[in-house]
Chains A and B, each alone.
Chain A
Amino acid sequence: MITFQGVTKMYEQGVVALRNVSFHLEKGGFAFLTGPSGAGKTTVLKLIYREERPSEGSVEVAGRDTCRLAVSQVQRLRRRMGIVFQDGRLIDSRDVFENVTFVLRAQGLALRARKERALNVLRQVGLSHRMRSLPRQLSGGEQQRVAIARAVAADPDLLLADEPTGNLDREMSVEIMEIFRRIHGRGTTILIATHDPFLLRKYRRRVLHLEDGCLTDKGVEKMAAGGDAP
């Protein structure tokens, strides 16, 4: 599903966020992306949904080099992904229902079907009673759950989640992970960037560990074993 080959990412100011990163995540796979703050986790995800392009190397998603895609193809690819952004990125002027369903709307789903879908995913994150609230009327954790609901609403082929449980307590984190597991069970490929050693311990999955922009094996065992998260 995802193949990084010798990917280096240098931002404009000369910051090198990733150095020669190569990995492959197969279709239907489930992996955690870990590493200290600033290690490049978000950058990896941005390269996958083509918000950024690699400075060197190539990023392949669903068998296609993301650098060779036209705008409309990038959009089509993104529609097959569910993305939970680190900073939420809810639309402030739209209510929860609209935030969760506008991509479905763009895909031509009728209102009735959208309502059904929204109710379904919002129920899973425990927010079905807040459909008509605006994001600013929700707590940080609730906003995060709306973002998760939006990401899974369209039944994506690939789910990218950037610190999805950052603002959530353990109980809620487990519930969210159960949602991810459920859609993984239906064939969705999943990549979750996280600091949370609890998740790594509880869900023993493949771990891609970044240190200062490099993919390493160091620290993985430590984190998975429940040592201090950086």
Chain B
Amino acid sequence: MSLRLLRMMVSDGLLALLRGRGLTAAALLIITLTFSVSALALLAAGNLAATVELNGRPGVFRVYFGEEAPDSEAVELARRLRHRDGIASVTVVRAGQARDDFLAAFPEMSAGVDLLVDNPFPPHLEVTVADAVASARRRELRAALGDEEGVVAVLGDDLWTRRLLELARLIRRAGLAAGLAFALAATLVVAGVTRLSLATRRDEIAVMWVVGAPRAFISGPFVVEGVVLGAGGALLAWAASWGVFRGASMLAEEHPLLGFLALAPLPASSVLFLVSCSVVAGTAGALLTVHQAARAH
């Protein structure tokens, strides 16, 4: 397909959308609304997970080292961290001590623990963050801790934390499923729009057909219409989620009580997911209808 033909299809498709403004707006609205549900679910899930991870045990991160790590490595990092901005205190929990702590809490497990050859209680640090540190800075701090040499995990773990994370995953899955379901709905909407568009241009298409216009020239603009409607809807839904994110961020800045929130916009992967769903839906909706119409010729 030549570039010129593609350009022609795009300009014809856009022109047709412009001519049918009312219909275009209605279709866009429906697609946007449906995809917004999915976008907001993904946004909520992401932010819930981030917030939970950040606040799992308020102000305390546990920094774990590898199984083979000597205590000295933990002590050395603790020494360096104590001088760092935003850190209130650092406690070193040595390998042996971690084991003792565990046994003190669960004495009935002692037999089991004695059987273990490898030490399941590697040394770790308990890093307490200063209260004044804002949530964004906490996240940075956490990431920085994870990047330190010898560190294998940074946790702020609790049972409710895990449950909330599970909930966040559930919401995320629901958001993805909704995205797929709404893609189907968008397919039908676009198919309907294409059908109307075809009907209003039926005479024109019949003439083009009979004087030999290539199929791509005739049906291309309809596919462009479908893609634009689909992608437009998804991008508007993204914009809506961005608006919600901005609103929440502003609210969190104004109210210190909301400082615990770890807020982030929709990640690129989610945006990509929504846009691909909608583009596929738009293309499929248009092609389906155009194909039916072409068979009638």
- Give which listed residue, A77, A85, A93, A150, contacts B204 with CB less than 8 A: A93
B222 to chain A, nearest CB (A): 15
A19 at the B interface (CB under 8 A) = no
Query: Which residues, 50 to 67 on A, are CB-close (under 8 Å) to B?
Result: 51
Size category of the binding interface on chain B: 10 to 19
A99 to chain B, nearest CB (A): 9
A172 at the B interface (CB under 8 A) = no
- For B215, list chain A residues within 8 Å (CB): 71-72, 75
> Which of B5, B201, B204, B212 has the most CB atoms of chain A within a 10 A radius of its CB?
B212
A15 at the B interface (CB under 8 A) = no
A63-93 interface code vs B (CB 8 A; 1 in, 0 out): 0000000011011111111010100011111
B203 and A78 within 8 A (CB)? no
B203 and A91 within 8 A (CB)? yes
A160 to chain B, nearest CB (A): 11
Looking at chain B's contact residues, the main secondary structure is helix
B296 at the A interface (CB under 8 A) = no
Say which one of A100-108, A122-130, A190-198 lies at the interface with B: A100-108
B152 at the A interface (CB under 8 A) = no
A108 and B2 within 8 A (CB)? yes
Given A91-B203, A94-B204, A106-B217: A83 and B211 within 8 A (CB)?
A: yes
A30 at the B interface (CB under 8 A) = no
- For B212, list chain A residues within 8 Å (CB): 74-81, 103, 106
A78 to chain B, nearest CB (A): 3
A75 and B203 within 8 A (CB)? no
> Which of B211, B213, B215 has the most CB atoms of chain A within a 10 A radius of its CB?
B211
A49 at the B interface (CB under 8 A) = yes
9 CB < 8 A contacts A-B: A74-B212, A75-B209, A83-B211, A85-B210, A103-B212, A103-B213, A106-B8, A106-B213, A110-B4
Question: Which 10 pairs of residues, A with B, have the shortest CB-CB distance?
Answer: A78-B212, A79-B212, A106-B217, A106-B213, A91-B204, A75-B212, A89-B207, A108-B4, A103-B211, A91-B207
Query: Which positions in A face B, CB cutoff 8 Å?
Result: 49, 51, 71-72, 74-81, 83, 85, 89-94, 102-103, 105-106, 108, 110, 150
Query: Which positions in B face A, CB cutoff 8 Å?
Result: 2, 4-5, 8, 201, 203-204, 206-215, 217, 294
